[in-house]
Amino acid sequence: MSARSRTAEQAEDGAGSWKASLPCSKAEAEALQEDISPLALLDEPPVLMSSEPDPARPDEWRLDAYFAAEPTAEMLAMLQALAPSSAGAAPTVERVEARDWVTLSQQGLEPIQAGHFFVHTPAHRDKVPADSIAFEIDAGRAFGTGQHETTSGCLVALSKLKDQGIRVSNLLDLGTGTGLLAFAAMRLWPTARAAASDIDPVSIEVTEENAAINQIRVGRGPGHVELAVAAGLEHGRLRQRAPYDLIIANILAGPLIELAPSVSKALEAGGRLILAGLLDSHAGAVAAAYRRHGLMLGFRVQHGEWPTLVMRKRKSLGWR
């Protein structure tokens, strides 16, 4: 059962909610749009909402966490870890009227138009443009709702590859989060075989739920996405499916560099690699790690301080 349905049932039953609040920076608030781990792994994860209390102080934000029951000291410590700038400030905790906080938080998430894609929450189903490829992604338990620049940058990169006439028959979304990027690639190349993996089992559960919502077929054949819980390419099925002609890896700079040998090996000669989850200051090191394994930079998508790198494996080297 999803966090959203649990929260809705609690509201209907009249149970109370608890709110814990902390000051945070704007950067910390933006990061929370995509990743609430380890709180996301709780049996009843809280709903996080961030706000800018005073527009005259644009870097001073507030983080509110809504829990189904009174949060423990361990939960509050997890919350505080999401806002390092608040070190030394104890969270304020209070009991509040029970409401469906997930639905309310989603109402504040505006739809995203990125490349050929329109990504929205259930609250904006009536706003889908007729000429867009639309996906409904619930905000909540996993990274990759389209709100963050890293995810939207990948959507733009996929759109550009399609517009360039690139053909894809076998793709991998490494660190899939919500499944959105795998789904987007499948809409552009509907006959391709796809795999989506994540180190977090919750993400794979969320991806399966989102696949059903967006009418994406789960399985091993053409036009299907195969799901796997795996760290990097450490899964028999992911290795068996190689070589891939498209790999998407929207993770973090450190893991991207660490995975460069195995990811490059799994990419076929001439194949494309989309790298995201890195800041401008990390782009050079990440690109260099993959150049050492025979890849060259094709183009770059820039959203704020978050670049998306699209690289291609040199044909002369082969994938093995």
**Annotation-wise, does 198 bind a ligand?**
yes
Better-scored residue on pLDDT, 135 or 55: 135
Q: What is the pLDDT of residue 137?
A: 87
Q: Tell me which of 82-96, 202-216, 223-237 is least confident.
A: 82-96
**47 and 163: one domain?**
no
Q: What is the pLDDT of residue 260?
A: 96
Pick the last residue of a domain from 104, 132, 160.
104
Q: How far apart are CA 57 and CA 32, in angstroms?
A: 19
- Average pLDDT of every residue of the chain: 84
**62 and 169: one domain?**
no
Q: How far apart are CA 123 and CA 86, in angstroms?
A: 32
**154 and 279: one domain?**
yes
- pLDDT, tens only, 175-207: 998 899 999 999 999 999 999 999 989 889 999
In total, how many domains does the chain have? Answer: 2
The two tokens of residue 122 are: 């259930």
Specify the CATH number for the domain of residue 71. 3.30.70
Q: How far apart are CA 214 and CA 200, in angstroms?
A: 21
**92 and 233: one domain?**
no
Cβ–Cβ < 8 Å for 154, 175: no
CB atoms within 10 A of CB 160: 17
**Annotation-wise, does 59 bind a ligand?**
no
Better-scored residue on pLDDT, 18 or 271: 271
Residue 184 inside a domain? The answer is: yes
Q: How far apart are CA 156 and CA 299, in angstroms?
A: 11
Residue 251 inside a domain? The answer is: yes
**Annotation-wise, does 250 bind a ligand?**
yes
Q: What is the pLDDT of residue 263?
A: 97
The residue type at 269: A
Residue 48 inside a domain? The answer is: yes
Better-scored residue on pLDDT, 144 or 123: 123
**169 and 305: one domain?**
yes
**Annotation-wise, does 131 bind a ligand?**
no
The boundaries of the domain holding residue 18 are 3-104
pTM of the entire structure?
0.68
User: For tokens 């989850």, what's the residue?
Assistant: 277
Residue 119 inside a domain? The answer is: no
- pLDDT, tens only, 290-319: 999 999 999 999 988 889 999 999 876 544
